[in-house]
Amino acid sequence: MPVQAHAEEFRSPGTGENAAVGVLLSHGFTGSPRSMRPFAEHLAAEGYGVAVPRLPGHGTSWPEMNKTSWPDWYAVLDNELERLRKEHDQVFTVGLSMGGCLTLRLAEEHGTDISGLVLINPSVQTDDKRLALLPVLSRLVPSFPGISNDIKKPGVDEGAYDRMPLRALQSLSQLWKITRADLAKVTQPVLLFRSTVDHVVEPSSGRTVLSSISSRDVTETLLEDSYHVATLDNDAPRIFADSTAFIGRLSGLVIGQRDA
């Protein structure tokens, strides 16, 4: 299945002193590396090693995504984490929406192999009672209308699917359940960004994460001028700057290398 032009993966090995740190970024459900590309380019310009893989079934077509499930998506990030651990002294993870859930799962399973997490509108549950019907619906109906481009900034396109693949969504709900059950295993420092207006992920997801993890170094930042895909929205510069400072503080390396 051909990969869409906007959905290419992004990697940078890092430069200078900050190359000792690798950062793994994960896009969200039905999205692609496009939603994380500006963030990744910012981190690469700071000298960090960066990886933004394309999760299976994403950046191609929604019927293709219906052939994949959460273990497929997780395996790609797990393998990328292993590679980054070999090439860098420390690794941080960054996740948007479902990507936040996947990186939380990585933190649960890999412990101190991950030095810190940046979460942007992480998705670990839904308040939509209709999803209780997913086990049946996903066998009868292939897709629903999609929820994409929840971006306040005019003229921005995240390149996500215009249909919601229900078999894949059913698998995502299983990932939510597994991840929520083990949130207490998360002990790494966490920087969580939450949009005050988000038409995709309810505030309960962020609250569940913050109330359930065991991390002692936790910062929640509210984004007042962005919707769900905040990495492409008006608050993106703040996310990039605060995340760079977070990584720099925890790694003890250079902050603002590109301006030096």
Q: Summarize the annotated binding site as residue ranges.
A: 29, 98
**What is the spatial distance between Cα 235 and Cα 249, in angstroms, rounded to a whole number?**
21
Which residues, at least 6 apart from 95, have a Cβ–Cβ distance to it below 8 Å? Answer: 25, 26, 28, 101, 102, 103, 104, 117, 118, 119, 120, 122
Per the annotation, binding residues for substrate are 29, 98
> Using CA atoms, how far apart are residues 6 and 106, in angstroms rounded to an integer?
26
> Known catalytic residues?
97, 198, 228
Per the CB < 8 A criterion, the answer to whether 164 and 144 are in contact is: yes
Contacts of 123 (CB under 8 A, 6+ apart): 28, 29, 97, 98, 100, 101, 172, 176, 200, 201, 205
